[in-house]
């Protein structure tokens, strides 16, 4: 080989002269978009690489154009990092809406300390598919992976040094980096909006099914015994789950994951305060009244815990009795006490009043100052189950000038009739699950008998809505000033249907089943199919009145034998002393409400919900037995079915609100129709 082709770099310093052109320069484009595909325009940015850090290249900076595009030219073949000015980025991202459905990654299992907020799974975003089809790169980032520092947040974070982990997974603000192999192309960067979750709650006089669902879940959450830092606590729900936009918030309840109906709001409107308080953990401990409250930019939510429902149900067993009430049972009921500070006349249940007063005295700063000051420019929502409903009503009465909205579930009677009339301005929807016995206590034997004689087993539930407001003053106080219920009822009622047949106990005619017998009775036999009716009389006053009249006629038309068999006069509708108690648990209430919501969101789903199939069978049974069924019972069931159809009205406000359609779509997509089956005890 000739020496002229050798290139030696030895000590002689021999060199080879090479002729070449200027070094090839590279380029890259970043297109910044939100989850709707809308551009993030006019954002100040800067880009850095090793050449710029070493002053071998000029700094790269500018403003994203109208299409959200950032273009950098003249690059060396080395990685480059994009950083966007934090405050303008945060301000713009707070105004952008989330995509309806979320990735919903699985939570790490117990003991797994890995971060719960991983990258978005491939193939989830429609923007990803569009970008790849166009030959672009695609990336999904959150604000903390793109901004150059922590943005200013108003209201400020409780700990400015501890940024929300979902939005700020990178505490060093190292920016978004593209490797040199990915230069010379456009990269579509989808940025998660800087938002937070808020419960969908409507502060309105009309019944809302979403209110019923969400406030029912808050009533379940009030029972949580999890420490504040555990995932099942109210604090973790509002201050952590509601900041995790990868998942729909859920209420954890002994293995159940109840999906909430939520909408996204600007991060500045997030829940900033959530606290659980228990008088049994005060210093010194006093009583056992527990509640939590949560506050965001538009809501003040207070949920009161009900009676502990642990075996052997000691607290409940002392209160439960069935009609008719024996004198010694009635004598053991806690007395009524005046409530002049809550209502001009009437009385309140002493035990419930004492439980509330303990909380108000021990936690005066929270119930008085904090909540009292926040509700001046926010909407107040109160809820509770069982005893929690009674405490919620007393709390609402103490703040009636602030127009609280109250939803309760299986609550006992709390105020007397005169007091209830003084609380008419409080909007309250009271849920009763079929034969739940707790709404019938404290017992008022004479009043209960009066309502029972009018309406049978519906007397102590729907009877309050149907009858009390229509009685004259002399009739109204015929029984003194009895405990009674406040608010509009929402009844979860398992409807029966009967077939009438003539019969006779006269021996000579037994073989003829009473046909043509001079001495015969009409016997009603219960048919096999039953159907759950979700009855909200306030949705249709005319239908409610028609159902009232039909129920009254049906009950009074029954022969004594049939009446005693169908509606036992000395007991609850179902047999067994504590049978109705099984219908009292919030875990029995909530599936009815949740599944009713799912049914309305997708009435034609395949397969149908079990409740829909059962209702179809019930309707078929009504048609087949129309000629032999008691006419007034048939009328009542038809009216109840019509009231069932009216429930779409209770969803209208959610559908029409901004973000409401997406909230319902998200809930329907995440909820498993096969979970949370509806049951009835007895």
pLDDT value of position 679: 73
Q: In this predicted structure, what is the pLDDT of residue 442?
A: 77
Q: Which pLDDT does position 435 carry in this prediction?
A: 82
Which pLDDT band, with edges at 50, 70 and 90, does 657 fall under? very high
Same domain? For 313 and 392 the reply is yes
Query: Are 189 and 327 found together in one domain?
Result: no
| Domain-embedded: residue 198 | no
- How far is residue 523 from each of residues 151, 240, 340, 410, 526, measured CA to CA in Å? 76, 60, 51, 33, 10
Structure pTM?
Answer: 0.85
pLDDT of residue 464: 44
> What's the CA gap between 353 and 344, in Å, rounded?
16
Please tell me whether residues 166 and 213 are part of one structural domain: no
Task: Give the pLDDT band of residue 554 (cuts 50, 70, 90).
Answer: very low
Does residue 260 lie within any of the structural domains? yes
Alpha-carbon span 242 to 247, nearest angstrom: 9
Q: Which residue has the higher pLDDT, 455 or 163?
A: 163
Cross-strand bridge partners of residue 430: 408, 489
Q: Chain-centre distance of CA 31, in angstroms?
A: 37
Q: Which of 186-190, 432-436, 648-652 has the lowest mean pLDDT?
A: 432-436
Identify whether 16 is part of a domain: no
pLDDT at 548: 47
Q: How confident is the model at residue 307 (pLDDT cuts 50, 70, 90)?
A: confident
Mean pLDDT of 377-398: 97
Backbone angles phi, psi at 552, to 5 degrees: -65, -45
**Per-residue pLDDT, 467:** 44
Which residues on adjacent β-strands are paired with residue 412?
Answer: none
Is 60 exceeded by the pLDDT of residue 7? no
Q: Within a domain: residue 641?
A: yes
Which residues 6+ apart lie within 8 Å of 638 measured at CB?
A: 622
pLDDT for res 414: 92
Confidence of residue 541 (pLDDT cuts 50, 70, 90): low
Mean pLDDT computed over 370-391: 96
At residue 66, the pLDDT reads: 98
User: What is the domain count for the chain?
Assistant: 2
Share of the chain above pLDDT 90, in %: 57
- Do the bridges between strand 405-409 and strand 379-385 make them parallel or antiparallel, or are there none, so unpaired? parallel
The verdict on 365 and 227 lying in the same domain is yes
What whole-number distance in Å separates Cα of residue 594 and Cα of residue 217?
10
Compute the mean pLDDT over every residue in the chain, rounded to the nearest whole number. 83
pLDDT band at 254 (very low <50, low <70, confident <90, very high): confident
Same domain assignment for residues 150 and 222: no
225 and 317, same domain (yes or no):
yes
Q: What is the pLDDT of residue 33?
A: 99
* pLDDT (average), residues 543-558: 48
Domain edge (last residue) among 169, 193, 217: 193
The confidence score (pLDDT) of residue 58 equals 86
For residues 251 and 671, the answer to whether their CB atoms sit within 8 Å is no
- The radius of gyration of the chain from alpha carbons, rounded to an integer in Å, stands at 33
pLDDT confidence of residue 444: 60
Which of 388, 395, 343, 405 lies closest to 372 in space, CA to CA? 395
Minimum mean pLDDT range among 147-161, 182-196, 568-582: 568-582
Mean local confidence (pLDDT), 259-283: 97
Both 570 and 444 in one domain: the answer is yes
- What pLDDT band is residue 500 in, cutting at 50, 70 and 90? confident
Q: Residue 4: inside a domain, yes or no?
A: no
**Residue whose C-alpha is closest to residue 236's, from 382, 394, 116, 403:** 116
* Whole-Å CA distances, 203 to 47, 265, 289, 291, 656: 48, 17, 26, 21, 14
User: How far apart are alpha carbons 562 and 547 in whole angstroms?
Assistant: 21
For residue 309, what pLDDT is reported?
59
In this prediction, residue 271 carries a pLDDT of 98
Mean pLDDT for the stretch of residues 642-657: 94
Averaged pLDDT, 306-330: 44
Contact in structure between 246 and 120 (CB atoms under 8 Å): yes
- Which carries the bigger pLDDT value, residue 327 or residue 165? 165
CA 118, 124, 126 angle in degrees (round to 5)?
135
N- to C-terminal Cα distance for the chain? 103
Same domain, 494 and 534: yes
Beta-ladder partners of 337: 348
Gap between the Cα atoms of 205 and 207, Å rounded:
7
Q: Report pLDDT for 537.
A: 86
Cα separation of 431 and 491, whole Å? 6
Q: For residues 485 and 307, give the distance between their C-alpha atoms in angstroms, rounded to a whole number.
A: 18
User: What angle, rounded to 10 degrees, do the helices at 649-656 and 660-670 form?
Assistant: 110
- Domain boundary among the residues 143, 161, 193 is at 193
Write the CB contacts of 384 (distance below 8 Å, at least 6 apart in sequence). Answer: 219, 222, 303, 304, 305, 306, 390, 391, 392, 408, 409, 411
Give pLDDT tens digits for 451-490. 555 545 554 454 444 444 444 343 544 557 788 889 998 9
Of 312 and 308, which is predicted with more confidence?
308
pLDDT value of position 568? 35
- 261 in the same domain as 185: no
Are 143 and 96 members of one domain? yes
The pLDDT assigned to 327 comes to 26
pLDDT at 546 (0 to 100) = 53
Q: What is the DSSP letter of 266?
A: E
* Maximum Cα–Cα distance across the chain: 138
Question: Domain ends where: 167, 193, 219?
Answer: 193
Residue 14 domain-assigned?
Answer: no
Percent of all residues in the chain with a pLDDT value above 70, rounded to a whole number = 77
Phi then psi dihedrals of residue 98, to 5 deg: -75, 155
How much is the average pLDDT of 629-642?
84
Q: Do 532 and 395 share a domain, yes or no?
A: yes
Q: How far is CA 129 from CA 30, 35, 192, 628, 633, in A?
A: 17, 13, 17, 61, 57
Confidence band, pLDDT 50/70/90 cuts, at residue 539:
confident
Residue 649: predicted pLDDT: 94
Among candidate residues 294, 291, 276, 278, the one with its CA nearest the CA of residue 380: 294
Please tell me the least confidently modeled range out of 400-414, 484-498, 662-676. 484-498
For residues 339-357, give the mean pLDDT: 88
Structural domain boundaries enclosing 393: 209-670
Burial of 134 (0-12, 13-18, 19+ CB in 10 A): exposed
Instruction: Return the top range by mean pLDDT from 90-94, 351-355, 434-438, 497-501.
Output: 90-94
pLDDT of residue 391: 97
Asked whether residue 473 is domain-assigned, the answer is: yes
Query: Helices (DSSP H) in 252-386: which residue ranges?
Result: 314-317, 327-331, 350-362, 364, 371-374
Burial grade of 161 (CB within 10 A; 0-12, 13-18, 19 or more): exposed
- 408-441: pLDDT as tens digits: 999 998 998 889 989 999 999 999 998 888 888 8
Check whether 659 has a pLDDT greater than 70. yes
Residues 214 and 186 in one domain: no
Asked whether residue 42 carries a pLDDT value surpassing 80, the answer given is yes
Q: CA dist 28 to 65, 174, 177, 187, Å?
A: 15, 19, 11, 8
Asked whether residue 681 is domain-assigned, the answer is: no
Q: At what angle do helices 660-670 and 586-601 cross, to 10 degrees?
A: 110
């Amino acid at each position: 080989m000739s020496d002229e082709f050798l290139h030696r770099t030895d000590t002689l310093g021999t060199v080879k002269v090479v002729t070449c052109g200027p070094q090839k320069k590279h380029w890259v484009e970043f297109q910044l978009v939100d989850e709707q595909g809308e551009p993030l325009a006019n954002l100040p940015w800067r880009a850095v690489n090793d050449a710029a850090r070493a002053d071998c290249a000029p700094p790269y900076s500018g403003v994203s154009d109208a299409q959200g595009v950032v273009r950098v030219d003249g690059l060396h073949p080395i990685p480059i990092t994009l950083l966007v000015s934090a405050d303008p980025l945060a301000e713009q991202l707070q105004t952008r809406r989330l995509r309806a459905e979320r990735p919903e990654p699985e939570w790490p299992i117990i003991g797994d300390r890995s971060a719960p907020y991983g990258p978005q799974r491939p193939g989830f975003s429609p923007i990803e598919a569009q970008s790849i089809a166009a030959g672009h790169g695609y990336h999904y980032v959150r604000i903390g992976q793109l901004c150059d520092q922590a943005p200013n947040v108003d209201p400020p974070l409780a700990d400015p040094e501890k940024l929300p982990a979902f939005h700020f997974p990178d505490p060093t603000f190292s920016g978004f980096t593209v490797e040199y192999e990915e230069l010379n192309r456009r990269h579509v960067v989808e940025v998660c909006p800087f938002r937070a979750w808020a419960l969908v709650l409507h502060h309105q006089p009309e019944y809302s099914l979403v209110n019923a669902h969400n406030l029912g879940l808050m009533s379940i959450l009030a029972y949580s015994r999890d420490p504040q830092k555990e995932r099942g606590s109210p604090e973790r729900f509002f201050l952590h789950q509601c900041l995790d936009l990868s998942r729909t918030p859920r209420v954890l309840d002994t293995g159940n994951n109840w999906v909430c109906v939520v909408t996204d709001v600007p991060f500045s409107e997030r829940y900033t305060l959530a606290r659980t308080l228990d008088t049994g953990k005060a210093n010194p401990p006093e009583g056992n009244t527990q509640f939590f409250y949560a506050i965001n930019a538009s809501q003040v939510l207070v949920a009161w815990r009900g009676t502990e429902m642990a075996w052997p149900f000691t607290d409940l067993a002392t209160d439960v009795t069935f009609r008719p009430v024996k004198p010694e049972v009635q004598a053991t009921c806690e007395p009524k006490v005046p409530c002049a500070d809550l209502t001009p006349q009437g009385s309140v249940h002493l035990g419930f009043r004492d439980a509330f007063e303990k909380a108000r005295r021990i936690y005066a700063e929270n119930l008085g100052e904090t909540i009292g000051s926040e509700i001046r420019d926010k909407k107040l929502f109160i809820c509770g189950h069982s005893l929690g409903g009674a405490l919620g009503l007393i709390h609402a009465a103490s703040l009636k000038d602030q127009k609280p909205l109250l939803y309760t579930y299986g609550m006992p009677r709390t105020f007397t009739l005169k007091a209830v009339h003084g609380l008419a301005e409080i909007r309250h929807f009271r849920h009763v699950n079929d034969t739940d016995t707790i709404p019938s206590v404290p017992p008022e034997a004479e009043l209960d008998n009066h309502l029972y004689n009018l309406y049978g087993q519906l007397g102590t539930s729907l009877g309050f809505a149907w009858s009390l407001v229509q009685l004259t003053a002399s009739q109204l106080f015929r029984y003194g000033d009895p405990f009674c219920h406040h608010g509009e009822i929402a009844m979860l009622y398992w409807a029966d249907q009967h077939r009438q047949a003539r019969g006779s106990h006269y021996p000579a005619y037994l073989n003829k089943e009473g046909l043509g017998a001079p001495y015969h009775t009409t016997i009603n036999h219960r048919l096999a199919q039953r159907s759950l009716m979700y009855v909200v009389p306030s949705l249709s006053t005319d239908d409610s009145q028609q159902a009232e009249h039909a129920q009254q006629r049906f009950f009074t038309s029954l022969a004594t034998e049939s009446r005693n068999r169908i509606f036992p006069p000395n007991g609850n509708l179902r047999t067994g002393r504590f049978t109705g108690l099984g219908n009292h648990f919030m875990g029995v209430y909530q599936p009815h409400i949740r599944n009713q919501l799912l049914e309305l969101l997708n009435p034609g789903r395949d397969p149908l919900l079990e409740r829909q199939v059962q209702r179809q069978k019930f309707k078929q049974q009504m048609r087949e037995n129309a000629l032999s069924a008691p006419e007034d019972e048939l009328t009542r069931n038809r009216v109840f079915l019509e009231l069932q159809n009216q429930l779409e009205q209770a969803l209208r406000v959610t559908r029409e609100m901004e973000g409401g359609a997406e909230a319902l779509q998200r809930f329907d997509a995440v909820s498993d129709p096969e979970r949370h089956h509806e049951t009835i005890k007895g």
